[in-house]
Chain A
């Protein structure tokens, strides 16, 4: 936060300009591989938002990214960079699956809260160890969470191949959950209300994501714990001087962050796939980093950024179909550029904007 800037410029103008830069560079990449960027954008938007089918998919992806984005954002507020969303989400998948497999003879109203607990508990536990090691032993959380992503990946492969797989089957996936552990789809809910919508994977977890975003806002800006986290994130020595326990804040922030990442399992595993498959996270944990940076770690910003990435994912799939040269890897490039320009290269935009505002202020009225 810079005193040279009004609040709106800091929260909206700078991210918007950074984003414009990122997309300009992405456009250059499209030109470089010999396609028309304007046409690409048109196909992308039409594919993502042109039909209720596209919108449903877009919001389904966005729901996942709200969870992983909030996860990164919560840790950011406490000054921690949690790159481990990928592993925490993978473990959250195990937690949600265990709940769903054992309770799928009941009703989703029972399964949902227990699965939320299960996914949160497993994801949180996976983040607890790096958090504890940083707080107590001084091992940097960035490195440990990277290591834990790889360990989680190996662990989940082991569990799926050796323990949770259907006996006799070759595919490394669990059995399908019964009806009782399947969240209702949004098209079913809207259909019951008489609103027609194409069949899409979008499910009840999208509403859960909105609740999660609201609760995150309450936590960060309306509770004592959130205040302590922000104070700790701004200045560790000052926070410690004010009597805030650094070990407690680090561990709590990491556990909450990991739990939030784990919750993406509710959307993907319990909400849509209805079984646990290998690598169900598929990079969504890393998308969370871009989403949190772009959304300035504010829940509203995270939701907007998540929808943008939802558009990119769904529109990108259509794009790969219409213009085969622009494969889905383009999304990874855009993700990288967004992280680069809104994160590491932010000063590229911030410095000129700050100078512009200073000049405006110095001008006599």
Chain B
């Protein structure tokens, strides 16, 4: 395997990891605030469809992105209403949101475009295209570093860089701001936050809406950056892999980056090589596809360090009277 192949593989890992990363960080905000979200998948799907549909109709990728974020925010609001205001079951709400998005995107897509649930192919203005960073040509002759800069660091689309920038931003917000402290506190001990005179409801809604924003970007990435248009069920379990990555990372931003890059790498390898031969063994492609889920179960089982979720996660906060 030469350097070029390795770089191609890593580059495609990075691009495949980006939607996972955005969705994973989205889940991180929500779950750190005590709202479990298994509806990441549905929100990404709704956003992917809305973004592609609007971009196709208007020809503007930015309008598409904003519409996608809007769709994801609407579903987040529904999740918040069910699990914060009505104190309903967060898991059931998440399941419902996934089905709602799966059904509505296909149904509305068919009515709107009549292409079996797909949106039309997006032209160049209606997509996020690759950005070439400065000095690529100047640095290309430099051995090793030149090609790395040219193919891995440069040449990605805007949302990839946005996704990467969200990691330190999330770390800073959660661990260096008052907002973040309160957000983590409502996920661990909402009673204490309430006693301190901070509204648990408002704090949790804020977290859920940030989650909607980020899943919206993740969904728009799928349909307007990674591919040129929406196809049915195009999230294909990515929301759940993001959830797996979140557990893998034990609800922390930097490990979330590594987990998503790992899962992106697994996917890239699975796409490039149908089956992998290791000595006498041949790993079938299905094993590679299942590997993120298997790894997550192993982590969850506590065999490789324990994953402890936020303490108040999944429980609605009922104010004492």
Enumerate chain A interface residues (CB-CB to B < 8 A): 29, 32-34, 81, 83, 129, 133, 137-140, 142-144, 146-148, 150-151, 154-155, 157-158, 161-162, 286, 289, 293, 325-327, 329-337, 339-340, 343-348
Q: How far is the CA of A140 from the CA of B247 in the complex (A)?
A: 11
Is B106 touching A327 in the complex (CB atoms < 8 A)?
A: yes
Do A347 and B87 touch (CB < 8 A)? Answer: yes
Q: Is B9 an interface residue (CB 8 A)?
A: no
Contacts of A138 in B (CB 8 A): 302
**B89 and A343 within 8 A (CB):** yes
Give every chain B residue within 8 A of A32 (Cβ-Cβ): 108
Does B111 lie within 8 Å of A139, measured CB to CB?
A: no
Task: Annotate B293-321 by CB proximity to A: 1 below 8 A, 0 otherwise.
Answer: 11011001110000101000000000000
B residues 103-138 in Cβ contact with A at 8 Å:
103-104, 106-108, 110-111, 117
Stretch among B14-22, B141-149, B190-198, B284-292 lining the A interface: B284-292
Is B244 located at the chain interface by the 8 A CB criterion? yes
Flag if A137 contacts B102 (CB, 8 Å): no
A175–chain B nearest beta-carbon distance, Å: 21
Beta-carbon contact of B107 and A347 below 8 Å: no
Whether B107 pairs with A330 at a CB distance below 8 angstroms is yes
**CB atoms of A348 and B86 under 8 A apart:** yes
Contacting pair B89 A344 (CB below 8 A): yes
Which residues between 6 and 45 of chain B lie within 8 Å of chain A, taking CB atoms?
Answer: 38
A144 CA to B294 CA, complexed, in Å: 9
Determine whether B93 belongs to the interface, using a CB cutoff of 8 Å to chain A: yes
Question: In the complex, which residues of chain B have a beta carbon less than 8 angstroms from the beta carbon of A344?
Answer: 82-83, 86, 88-90, 92-93, 96
A–B complex contacts, Cβ < 8 Å, 13 sampled: A29-B107, A143-B38, A155-B286, A162-B284, A289-B95, A327-B110, A329-B103, A329-B107, A337-B96, A340-B93, A344-B90, A344-B92, A347-B87
B-chain residues with CB within 8 Å of residue A329 when the two chains form the complex = 102-104, 106-107, 110, 117
A147, B247: Cα distance in complex, Å: 12
Chain B residues within 8 Å of A347, by CB: 86-88
- Bound Cα distance from A129 to B108, whole angstroms: 39
The number of residue pairs between A and B whose CB atoms lie closer than 8 Å in the complex comes to: 149
Q: Bound state CA distance, A142 and B98, in angstroms? A: 15
Tell me if B91 is interfacial: C-beta within 8 Å of chain A.
yes
- Rounded to whole Å, the gap between the CB of A35 and the closest CB of chain B is 9
Task: Name the CB-closest residue of B to A325.
Answer: B111
Does B297 contact A133, Cβ atoms closer than 8 Å? yes
* Measured CA separation A66–B106 after assembly (Å): 27
Give complex CA distance A154, B93 in Å: 27
Closest chain B residue to A324, Cβ basis: B110
Q: When the two chains form their complex, are residues A327 and B107 in contact, meaning their CB atoms are under 8 A apart?
A: yes
User: How far, in angstroms, from A29 to B90 measured CA to CA in the complex?
Assistant: 24
List chain B residues, Cβ under 8 A from A346.
Answer: 86, 88
Q: Which residue from B81, B82, B243, B301 sits with its C-beta under 8 Å from A139? A: B301
Within the assembled complex, what's the spacing in Å between the Cα atoms of A86 and B3? 42
Given contacts A133-B300, A142-B91, A150-B237, contact A332 B99 (CB under 8 A): yes
> CB within 8 A of B96: which of A81, A326, A330, A340?
A340
**A139 cross-chain contacts in B, Cβ below 8 A:** 297, 300-302, 307
Shortest C-beta distance, A284 to chain B (Å), equals 13
Measured CA separation A329–B107 after assembly (Å): 6
A155 lies within 8 A of B290 (CB): yes
| A83–B103 CB distance below 8 A | no
Question: Which residues of A lie under 8 Å from residue B93 when comparing CB positions?
Answer: 340, 343-345
Task: List, in ascending order, chain B residues with CB within 8 A of A29's CB.
Answer: 104, 107
CB distance from A212 to the nearest CB of B (A): 24
Interchain CB contact under 8 A, A144 and B240 = no
User: Among B87, B286, B296, which residue has its beta carbon within 8 angstroms of that of A147?
Assistant: B296
Whether A339 lies near B99 (C-beta < 8 A) is yes
Q: How many whole Å from B270's CB to the nearest CB in chain A? A: 11
Neighbour of B99 across the interface among A157, A293, A335, CB < 8 A: A335
User: In the complex, which residues of chain B have a beta carbon less than 8 angstroms from the beta carbon of A142?
Assistant: 38, 91
- Nearest Cβ on chain A to B302's Cβ, whole angstroms: 5
* B290 close to A150 (CB less than 8 A): yes
Nearest residue, chain B, Cβ from A35: B111
- Chain A's closest residue to B237 (CB) is A150
Q: Are B110 and A158 in contact (CB under 8 A)?
A: no
**Cross-chain contact B309 with A147 (CB below 8 angstroms):** no
Is B107's CB under 8 angstroms from A158's CB? no
- Return chain B residues, CB-CB under 8 Å to A140: 300, 309
Complex Cα distance, B287 from A139, in Å, reads 22
CB interface residues, B 31-71, toward A, < 8 Å: 38
A29 to B99, CA, bound (A): 14
CB pair B111 A137 closer than 8 Å: no
Q: Which of A34, A151, A161, A335 has the most CB of B within 10 A?
A: A151
B107 and A333 contacting across the interface, CB-CB below 8 Å: yes
Contacts of A289 in B (CB 8 A): 92, 95
> Could you say which of B82, B96, B106, B294 contacts A151, with CB atoms under 8 Å apart?
B294
- For B100, give its contact among A34, A83, A340, A343 (CB under 8 Å): A340
